[in-house]
Structure 1
């Protein structure tokens, strides 16, 4: 008899350890909004240099994402995460002791490279390790850790803002980085990656250690074996198979949509936005930023609860609608505040609207896009497909971070937010007509539907599985 409590704890450990990569991601996003005003003051840098301090991290993440197709396929998801943590520690040390803007930009690229690796490997690892009934919740836990990281960074920034010590804002990242490296070292490798590399016995052991039902583990393993019968893999499969090209295209569109909601500008430039809303002191701006972080964490718990019960598609439709309306209202409020024509409460309404926008994002596009992108790619093309979609995420993120201040100065504050509002409304239509519902369906069933040519929005319909073949009972040890 297998100890169910032990297995539950083992699954939870895997989920939390992999999600620590999300914590680093969130910490890095959050800290720069607090550090940037002090770096700007100390080094007297221009608007464009400020944008590059924000966006060079995304440049590095793009390079890390591009390299993932090779790294994850050959090293595996676990070792990719391990190296991502080590590289992040190097980048963080470089930023902490940077002597000028050029050194800072270089090590921001290094930090970004590691984030690009982790943002690819962590959701992929979680999707391949999780049972179909809790897969969405597990990957949403990764997003929860991102939001917790953002909140912790905002709190840390607020504390160090009292003295203007932006170097310590970077230095505190080393603590969770070391915890991530140590945690990942003891995690097992993905059974799907093991099977794709020919390590069938070890793949069986890992599956049996993760699943309470041995028959379910047996059935899942047989589906994995069947999915490996596809002859081509990676880019060769992309060239040869139009159905795989469809799933790659869907992943690219989903990540583009996630970024062009405009929500990350509320993270990167939160103090700037609150300054426009009429809050002039650093402490007022940082307090508003902390409120945004608290809302982000709270709303992500909603996403975790609904990912496997309500589903991915309803969350996206509601989230994009909330963000579209919220962005329009935020632009309108800032227009009146900046014109000096608004009562004082408009400033507080702007903060409240920002929080509503963040809640809409945290319960929808933030976790659900990562969930879907890790689910819709076939096993033989999963590394390539997710590398493409993750690269799109960081390219879009970089464009967003590098153009926000320029857009404000070019087309105006209200028009900038209205532009994002229009994007969100368009994304509702894309979700309705193209995005599948994948809750409660095995990765192999989704793959079978995709490869049979079903419409993208129908690939999440359950597919009949083969009868399970009993496996010899083993336990994997981390």
Structure 2
């Protein structure tokens, strides 16, 4: 029986796709958060200034921005599978350079390559999974990517806590090579996306990929329309498409949600959590790392809840209520900093993280995948995602400087104001797409309906004023 299980685990197409999604998400999560637990050690080793600390954090995020920006054209030209392997190669090189003993320069170059890997994977792995998973499993499989990211963050927070004093910081950072290699190995066991092959006119390759992925029945029942399959190349989609109907408004909405997501403070908290806990009064070292690990655990549990609730409660209510709860959590952090109440600060950050995982964390990705018409979906997602990484880098490069200039309470106050702005923005512009067919949403977008009316309303038409 055990032998049959392993045979199924290795050869089942859906399980191999799930393994790819999980390994890609783990690479993403561990890569962006692993610096938080070792930044103090790096500062001591290299006698770093505040600006240099921010540069070490931010250089990875800039790499992510570059990777996300080129993921669409690269995967359109060469395919999803080679792009994932390219990303894994960049990641393996980056994580090998960090512990190789090349000093600060090796650390910066290594983190740049790791960021390039993460940026590519953040775009291409969910895209590949969506194109190769049977329709009945697609939502659950793609949602696993976000869950795996939170598990990677939790692992990044747990590694310094578990191996404090036992492993040097270059080895702790270099552990990121493990999910990268796993991602590459699994990719080698999978075929190219049949939808990409169909768009390229490779009928023989398409048939072989469909057969290998177990999609033959679904493919026969609903084959892709070759002139509608997106390849991420703006030339294929047509520059005119972006100006049709409400497509520009959708691009504005998705980009704005990502700006709000990153300016809400989540990136500063993920990258600098131990430093924040020290500012709140937790002792440096194990206590701050343990509190940080607690935030990572809350993030995982809240993400599981988000996966369960997003299709029950809807996108719009979760965004509005989640943004309000994020503001409330940050208000508690400000009180904790002002009155020396570290445990209140921990509770406030836990509320913030949980609310983020239910709202501004996953839902911008959900909405952009639903609202962009099929012909510009990849190019639209690429532009929105690049916007996300750009503002992510802004926070990475400025958070410590903001705390030095305005204090922790002042910096958190700025993030609180962004969360309140998010509540107002979502009330004004975000549509409810729960239960709406993608084809109906696309028709509404191309017809130029106002943003609030793009998804319609469950149980009746949207009668809200046009915006």
TM-score normalised by structure 1 residue count: 0.85
Query: C-alpha distance in 2, partners of 1:173/1:229?
Result: 32
* Structure 1 residues 224-266: Cα deviation after superposition (integer angstroms, max 9, x where no partner): 4573599963462456545433333233122212211211221
Paired residues for 1:385-404 under 5 Å:
385-404=380-399
What is residue 33 of structure 1 aligned with on the other side? 36
Q: Give the match's secondary structure for 1:386.
A: helix
1:80 counterpart = 2:75: no
Query: Which deviates more from structure 2 when the two are superposed, residues 313-322 or residues 182-191?
Result: 182-191
Residues 34 and 173, structure 2, Cα contact 8 Å, conserved in 1: yes
User: Within 1, Cα distance between the matches of 2:15 and 2:366?
Assistant: 18
Contact 1:140 1:307 in 2 (8 A): no
Q: 1:123·1:374 contact (CA, 8 Å) conserved in 2? A: no
What runs of 5+ residues in structure 2 fail to find an aligned partner? 1-7, 458-467
Aligned counterpart in structure 1 of residue 69 of structure 2, from 57, 60, 66: 66
Contact kept, 8 Å, 1:436 with 1:460, in 2: the verdict is yes
User: Using the alignment, how far apart are the partners of 1:294 and 1:302 within structure 2?
Assistant: 13
Query: Structure 2 CA distance, aligned partners of 1:201 and 1:439?
Result: 37
Secondary structure, counterpart of 1:460 in structure 2: coil
For 2:207 and 2:219, the matched residues in 1 are separated by 8
Distance 1:116 1:350, change over 3 A: same
CA distance in 2, matches of 1:459, 1:405: 40
> Which residue does 2:353 correspond to in 1?
358
Q: CA 1:172–1:365 in 2, change beyond 3 Å: closer, same or farther?
A: same
Deviation, 1:383, is 2.6
Deviation of residue 331 (structure 1)? Answer: 1.7
Distance in 2, Cα, partners of 1:305 & 1:264: 24
The Cα offsets for residues 156-192 of structure 1, whole Å up to 9 and x where unpaired, read as: 1112322461011122222211111011222343344
Structure with the bigger RCO (C-alpha within 8 Å, sep 6+) is: 1
TM, length-normalised to structure 2: 0.87
Task: Mark the runs of 5 or more structure 1 residues left unpaired by the alignment.
Answer: 338-345, 463-478
Inter-partner Cα distance in structure 1 for 2:282 and 2:228: 56
Query: Matched residues in 2 for 1:117 and 1:104: separation?
Result: 20
Comparing 255-264 and 395-404, the one that deviates more? 255-264
2:268 corresponds to 1:273: no
What is the SS of the residue equivalent to 2:163?
helix
Structure 1's 179 and 374: CA in aligned 2 closer, same or farther, altered over 3 A?
A: same
Q: Residues 60 and 112 of structure 2 are in contact (CA less than 8 Å); yes or no, is this contact kept in structure 1? A: yes
Q: Is the 8 A contact 1:137 1:308 kept in 2?
A: no
What do residues 80-120 of structure 1 show as CA deviations (whole Å, max 9, x unaligned)? Answer: 22211111111111122243323322221111111111111
> Any residues of structure 2 matched to 1:275-314 within 5 Å, and which?
275-314=278-317
Q: How does 1:40-439 map to 2 (within 5 A)?
A: 40-130=43-133, 135-163=138-166, 165-199=168-202, 214=217, 220-221=222-223, 224-225=225-226, 227=228, 233-234=236-237, 236-237=239-240, 241=244, 243-337=246-340, 346-439=341-434
